[in-house]
């Protein structure tokens, strides 16, 4: 599609702009202002301005190398931006990792100490969190993991390890959930159950940030889409706004049209 063929957004709709991305609404769980990250001469995050709201599911999309993984690492405090300001859960991210106690994280591929059982992993995490009162065992029960908890984690299937990772992400009632390709490796029944849990967390006021290459899944879950390209935010708005702006009926086609317009 040629850029001239793209429908013109009406007033109030988000605009696509390679240099001036839109900000989300204020009063957010996460705020990034002018965040930059470089590796040598390569800029992987280029003046990122974003805000993630409570009670919303935000999908971070973009092609490989767009900056998604670096953005997630920055939110988790695993990499330090070279420039800009990040506030997570009301705390400025400046090297103090205490804010991470209120984050639930599910990586794309689960990694656990090979010598521990699943139960020992959960007990270790509870000790590290100072034995908080109450934990969210919903997924533990409904994934029917109890009989697997006393097996060494290394002996569990990839899907079962992914279920354990999902349990851990929700275990301490996080205010912010960061999910990286969360349904990868889950069977259809577990995937549906997990999606229902994500929706419930959102409805309870949790801010959910997810990445996924399965755009039908994003369309099913996400309230807001952030599209990254070459380290810049090129779109920040709702799924419906993106479909309306591109004139495409589904998210996959809309993302394709957006990339066609933005790629020389």
- Look at residue 61 and tell me if it is in a domain: yes
Q: What are phi and psi of 96, to 5 degrees?
A: -80, 120
Whether 240 is covered by a domain: the verdict is yes
CA–CA distance, 193 with 98 (Å, rounded to integer): 31
Instruction: Specify the pLDDT at position 27.
Output: 62
How would you classify residue 66: left for phi > 0, otherwise alpha for psi between -120 and 50, otherwise beta? alpha
DSSP 3-state of 39: strand
pLDDT for residue 26? 37
Rounded to 5°, angle at Cα 209 from 207 and 211: 165
Q: Which of 77, 79, 99, 86 is nearest to 47 (CA)?
A: 86
Residue 37 included in any domain: yes
| Out of 103-117, 125-139, 214-228, least confident range | 125-139
Would you say residue 4 lies in a domain? no
Task: Specify the CATH number for the domain of residue 117.
Answer: 3.40.50.300
Residue 25 belongs to some domain of the structure:
yes
Q: Which pTM was predicted?
A: 0.86
Residue 21 lies in a domain: yes
Phi, psi of 152 (to 5 degrees): -55, 135
In a domain, 9, yes or no: no
Domain that holds residue 98: 14-262
- Percent with pLDDT over 90 in the chain: 73
- How many domains is the chain partitioned into structurally? 1
Residue 2 resides in a domain = no
């Amino acid at each position: 599609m040629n850029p001239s063929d793209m429908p013109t957004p009406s007033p109030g709709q988000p605009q696509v702009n390679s240099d001036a991305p839109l900000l989300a609404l204020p009063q957010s769980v996460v705020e990034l202002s002018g965040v930059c990250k470089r590796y040598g001469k390569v800029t992987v995050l280029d003046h990122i301005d974003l805000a993630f709201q409570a009670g919303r599911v935000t999908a971070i999309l973009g092609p490989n190398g767009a900056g998604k993984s670096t953005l997630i690492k920055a939110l988790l405090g695993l990499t330090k931006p070279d420039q800009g300001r990040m506030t997570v859960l009301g705390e400025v991210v400046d090297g103090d990792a205490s804010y991470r106690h209120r984050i639930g994280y599910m990586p794309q591929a689960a990694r656990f100490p090979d010598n521990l059982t699943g139960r020992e992993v959960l007990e270790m995490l509870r000790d590290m969190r100072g034995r908080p009162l109450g934990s969210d065992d919903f997924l533990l029960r409904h994934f029917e993991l109890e009989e697997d908890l006393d097996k060494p984690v290394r002996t569990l299937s990839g899907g079962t390890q992914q279920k354990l990772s999902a349990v851990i992400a929700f275990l301490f009632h996080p205010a912010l959930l960061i999910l990286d390709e969360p349904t990868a490796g889950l069977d259809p029944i577990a995937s549906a159950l997990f999606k229902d849990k994500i929706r419930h967390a959102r409805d309870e006021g949790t801010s959910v940030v997810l990445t996924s290459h399965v755009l039908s899944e994003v369309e099913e879950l996400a309230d807001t889409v952030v599209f990254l390209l070459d380290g810049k935010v090129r779109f920040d708005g709702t799924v419906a706004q993106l479909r309306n702006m591109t004139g495409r009926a589904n998210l996959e086609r809309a993302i394709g049209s957006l990339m066609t317009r933005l790629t020389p």
